Amino acid sequence: MIIRAATQADQEAILQLEQTIFDAMDLAIYDELSVADVQAAWRLAVTQSDQSRYHYRRALVAQDDAGQVIGVLFGYPDTDEPVLDTAMQTVLADQYSYHRWLFEDSEVFENEWYIDSVVVTSAARGQGVGQALLKAAETRARQEDRHVIGLNVDDSNPDAMALYQRLGFVPTGDLMIESHHYTHMQKNLI
């Protein structure tokens, strides 16, 4: 397995992996639009702006020995959050007449490099892929002169919470994203 920066060739695979998380989040958009429509909107948004939340430039991927993407981590500095969904919101409004914010709630804490999501294929879970992606995120955060990384963990996922704690993350706050309660965790990189 290798961990590397995602490339444009990975874009479709990483959007497909990200759908695993969307499915678990019970996003309100799925009350009005199909999964296929939302996926099409993400594809269009990432072609319109490299500032999009799930653009490959914001991603690290895990690749197996056969060259397949088996995991992805999306992350960015907290200061990027205000522009992340601009292209997606425009696509949703123009193409689907959807005018509600996809992600209304702020997810980041000030002065951190934020890990938006980490997802691993079901076949690769339990093999250290997520942990390797998290370690690579620490390196990227340092390269971007950030000394704290943060993430949110769904309180209904104690296994993820335990993994993050083993890796040195500590709880620093609570928040709601859509209808789910999350614990915000941070790790100091200094």
Per-residue pLDDT tens over the stretch 79-131: 998 888 888 888 888 988 888 777 777 888 999 999 999 999 888 888 899 99
At the topology level of CATH, where does 2-188 sit?
Aminopeptidase (3.40.630)
Domain parsing of the chain, residue ranges: 2-188
Please give the Cα distance from 54 to 174 (Å, whole number): 24
pLDDT tens for 41-59 read 888 888 888 888 888 899 9
Q: Count CB neighbours of 138 within 10 A.
A: 17
pTM of the model: 0.88
